[in-house]
Amino acid sequence: MNMQKKFQVALLLLFGVTFVYQGSSIAQQELVLSLTGKRTIDVAGIRIPDIGLLPTAIPVPATNLNYKQKIKLGKQLYFDGRLSQNGAISCAFCHTPGLGFADPKQVSIGVGGKQGGRQAPTIYNTVFNPVQFWDGRAGSLEEQAIGPIVNPVEMAETHENVVDKLNNIQGYVEQFQAVFGTAVSMQGIAEAIAAYERTIISTNSPFDQYVLGDKTAMSEKAQRGMDLFKGKARCILCHNGSNFTDNQFHNLGVPQVGPMKEDLGRYYVTRRPEDTGAFKTPTLRSIDETAPYMHDGAFKTLEEVVDFLDNGGGKNPNLSPMMKPLDLSKEEKNHLIAFLMALKGEEIPFEFPTLPE
């Protein structure tokens, strides 16, 4: 087919879809919009993306080739403590399957028992994050994966040592040859781990089944919780779109606990005073699996989080203007939590990889 022909076919398809769309009922149009994540709603006078289903196509960078083979290799690297200085701390040590791919400790502990200043976020749905880390300092998952290996409070290794060590493990040498056509390299390690991370997706929750039309998938309490989430409780102002995040940074006045005296958050990246103490809005999918909560793990339970938000957040000179006391009753708080529980994704069948000798 030549270019012009292709263009004509594309136009025809577009008209076809638009025609079907216009001919359908309002309810069907709404369904198409919510299924494609294009529906917006009005909250507190602001037009924002509605919550809805995740895209079925997983975004993969065009530069990361040979994707399928990399996933298998990346999974081994993700679980391999030999990427760390003492041979014991793998990515899975702090982002643990079975514990929501997160860390139940308030702040993470790395090589030699060293404490970091922040709570380890989940790996679930990081594929949909335009930026990584609580302050958004890394762009792609490829870029992020290299960070923990050299971080002195995480895996505390050097790039040279990791590459040397893996180049002495026959199983890795063979796989890198097959996948990349080169010896073990830092770039290869990063691409493979990122490819594996993109398979860790929380989806098909009771909420998703409800959106797809199964009105019994969520309890009545959870349904009322959803109305509160989008209405009186105003959560959707920031936790919106298909991954329940606006991918922006806000200051909720979360009390600073743990080893860090003050965490300036997004300010470290932008150096803009208004970003002081602002952190990335996290996804809420499978949120019941990933306690404790917030950038510093300040809250142990969802009840504590909801009480905190009900009070309009904490005290902070830079508190987001979107934070307001909510005046929720005890019953309303319970409904809100029932809705958060309904965001638990389908279980991912999981097997530990065999690591090469």
Using CB under 6 A, list all residues that contact ligand HEC. Answer: 89, 91, 93-95, 108, 110, 116, 118, 120-121, 123, 126, 129, 132-134, 141, 144-145, 148-149, 154-155, 193, 233-235, 237-239, 250, 252, 254, 279, 281-282, 284, 287, 290, 293-295, 302, 305-306, 309, 320, 322-323, 336
Comparing CB distances to ligand HEC, the nearer of 16 and 259 is: 259
- When the beta carbons of 16 and 130 are compared against ligand HEC, the nearer one is 130
Residue number, 82 or 295, with CB nearest to ligand HEC = 295
Minimum gap (Å) between residue 95 Cβ and ligand HEC: 5
Least distance in angstroms from the C-beta of 77 to ligand HEC? 7
- Toward ligand HEC, which CB reaches closer, 209 or 318? 318
Closer to ligand HEC by CB, 166 or 305: give it.
305
Extract the tokens encoding 78.
């993700």
Q: How far apart are CA 286 and CA 340, in angstroms?
A: 8
The beta-carbon contacts of 254-257 under 8 Å, at least 24 apart in sequence, are 254/279, 254/294, 254/295, 254/296, 254/298, 254/308, 254/313, 254/314, 255/298, 255/314, 256/296, 256/298, 257/106, 257/296, 257/297, 257/298
Tell the smallest beta-carbon distance from residue 138 to ligand HEC (Å).
7
Nearest CA to 333 out of 295, 357, 301, 294 is that of 301
Cα-based torsion angle of the residue sequence 84, 193, 122, 348 in order, rounded to the nearest 10 degrees: -120
Q: Which is nearer to ligand HEC, 32 or 264 (CB)?
A: 264
Q: Long-range contacts for 262-265 (Cβ within 8 Å, ≥24 apart)? A: 263/117, 263/118, 263/295, 263/296, 265/134, 265/135, 265/295
Could you tell me the smallest distance in angstroms from the CB atom of residue 23 to ligand HEC?
38
Q: What span, in angstroms and rounded, lies between the C-alpha atoms of 94 and 108? A: 7
CB of 250 to ligand HEC, least distance (A): 4
Rounded distance, CA 172 to CA 182, Å?
A: 11
CB-based contact 85:164 (threshold 8 Å):
no
Residue 254 CB, shortest distance to ligand HEC, in Å, is 4
Contact criterion met (CB below 8 Å) for 238 and 245: yes
Nearer to ligand HEC, 82 or 180 (CB): 82
- Shortest spacing between CB 162 and ligand HEC, in angstroms: 10
CB of 52 vs ligand HEC, minimal distance in Å = 17
Nearer to ligand HEC, 52 or 253 (CB): 253
